[in-house]
Amino acid sequence: MLLFEMSSLGFKFALLRLGINIFVIIIIAYVMGLVVKKGEIAAIYEKANNL
DSSP 47: H
Model pTM? 0.69
3-state SS class at 50: coil
pLDDT score, position 1: 81
Give the whole-angstrom CA distance, residue 51 versus residue 46: 9
Give the whole-angstrom CA distance, residue 42 versus residue 25: 22
Give the whole-angstrom CA distance, residue 41 versus residue 25: 19
What are the 10-residue block averages of pLDDT along the chain, 51 residues in total?
Answer: 88 93 97 93 94 88
